[in-house]
């Protein structure tokens, strides 16, 4: 039996192992692709993989990044987008219609909060915000119109921790799809799909790309969920530029090294400052004083950066 590749190997090589040909993926910096024949166009229209028409729909450099992200999350497929908010808005719009209700953690990234509270109501989609400590009661809180649960763990910026397995189980028992923002944990520390989520969202801008020189986002999940998001992306247009995809792939190659060191440094700093006379409180899941410490220890490989 072939041993599964470790997370560091998947971060470097993606789903398929070492590349043949150019060691760094070529940048397909083009808007449009030409077909060699009408027969090749027909194969594209029939869905043959590896053929491309227009980079808003798909691009080979972007596709390589998507396959690497799917490998890291242990998922069937992934979709790369132009920012984390492009990823979240595309996910939400691929899952909802007018009259639906979202249940959402009250502790979410600010852009997501604004999407839910300011934009979606214009299109007759409502949101009820739930305190993180109450999310385990989502089965009781959900109504007939509730279709989607959105959570983040650990949260940006206060590092609240949600018991994802418990919450996802309760949500799915009521027929709710679950989207988890996994940006702060990264796929190396936490894999929400294995804990019951339907879609995982990332801001590539942060840890995954790692060099503060690009904007990007991603959705990861089953073929069906990602296909629905991809169809929505084609309409909304939030596609990732091929050069940004190339830079994100470069960042992934050092992800396992960076995250390990960042976690170690963060824990050392948190321990150093806990109890400091000049500080009222230190928020870090790796501290035993953190209310989510036991949950984080159970569902995360380490406590984050």
- Give the pLDDT means over successive 10-residue stretches in the chain (305 positions): 65 67 90 97 95 97 97 97 98 98 97 98 98 94 97 94 98 97 98 98 97 97 98 97 98 97 98 94 97 97 96
Catalytic residue among 77, 163, 181, 198: 181
Note the pLDDT tens digit of each residue in 180-199: 999 999 999 999 999 999 99
Compute and round to an integer the Cα radius of gyration of the chain.
20
Residue 20: the pLDDT is: 74
Helices (DSSP H) in the chain: which residue ranges?
A: 7-13, 38-45, 60-73, 84-95, 110-114, 138-141, 164-173, 186-189, 223-236, 242-252, 255-273, 293-299
- From residue 64, give the alpha-carbon distance in Å to each of 13, 50, 240: 10, 11, 12
56 is catalytic: yes
User: How far apart (Å, rounded) are the C-alpha atoms in residues 187 and 26?
Assistant: 25
Q: Which DSSP state fits 26?
A: P
Kindly provide the b/e burial profile for residues 54-93, where b requires at least 16 CB atoms within 10 angstroms of the residue's own CB: ebeebbbbbbbbbebbbbbbebebbbbbbbbbbbbbbbbb
Catalytic residue among 10, 52, 77, 109: 109
Catalytic residue among 15, 56, 253, 297: 56
SS3 for 129?
strand
What percent of the chain has pLDDT above 70?
95
User: Encoding tokens for residue 245?
Assistant: 């995809």
Closest CA to 203 of 93, 283, 286, 109: 109
Catalytic residue among 5, 172, 174, 206: 206
CATH of 57-252, one of 3.20.20.140, 3.40.640.10, 3.40.50.300, 3.40.50.1000: 3.40.640.10
Which residues make up the CATH 3.40.640.10 domain(s) of the chain?
57-252
234 is catalytic: no
213 is catalytic: no
Closest CA to 196 of 174, 173, 165: 165
SS3 for 199?
strand
109 is catalytic: yes
């Amino acid at each position: 039996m072939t041993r599964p590749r470790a997370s560091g190997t998947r971060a470097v090589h993606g789903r398929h192992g070492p590349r043949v040909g150019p060691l760094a993926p070529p940048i397909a910096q083009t808007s449009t692709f030409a077909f060699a024949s009408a027969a090749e166009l027909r194969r594209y229209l029939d869905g043959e993989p590896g053929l491309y028409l227009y980079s808003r729909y798909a691009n080979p450099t972007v596709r390589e990044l998507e396959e690497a992200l799917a490998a890291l999350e242990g998922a069937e497929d992934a979709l790369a987008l132009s920012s984390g908010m492009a990823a979240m808005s595309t996910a939400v719009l691929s899952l909802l219609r007018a009259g639906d209700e979202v249940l959402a953690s009250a502790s979410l990234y600010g852009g997501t909060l604004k999407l839910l509270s300011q934009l979606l109501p214009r299109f007759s989609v409502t949101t009820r915000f739930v305190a993180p400590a109450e999310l385990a009661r989502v089965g009781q809180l959900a109504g007939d119109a509730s279709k989607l649960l959105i959570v983040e763990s650990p949260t940006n910026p206060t590092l609240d921790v949600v018991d994802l397995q418990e919450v996802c189980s309760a949500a799915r028992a009521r027929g709710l799809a679950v989207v988890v923002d996994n940006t702060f944990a990264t796929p190396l520390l936490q894999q929400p799909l294995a804990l019951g989520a339907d879609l995982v969202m990332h801001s590539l801008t942060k840890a995954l790309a790692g060099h503060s020189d690009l904007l990007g986002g991603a959705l990861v999940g089953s073929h069906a969920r990602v296909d629905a998001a991809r169809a929505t992306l084609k309409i909304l247009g939030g596609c990732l530029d091929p050069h940004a995809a190339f830079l994100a792939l470069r960042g992934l190659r050092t992800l396992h090294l960076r995250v390990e060191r960042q976690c170690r440094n963060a824990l050392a700093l948190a321990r150093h400052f806990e109890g400091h006379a000049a500080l009222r409180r230190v928020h870090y899941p790796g501290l035993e004083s953190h209310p989510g410490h036991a949950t984080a220890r159970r569902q995360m490989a380490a406590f984050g950066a």
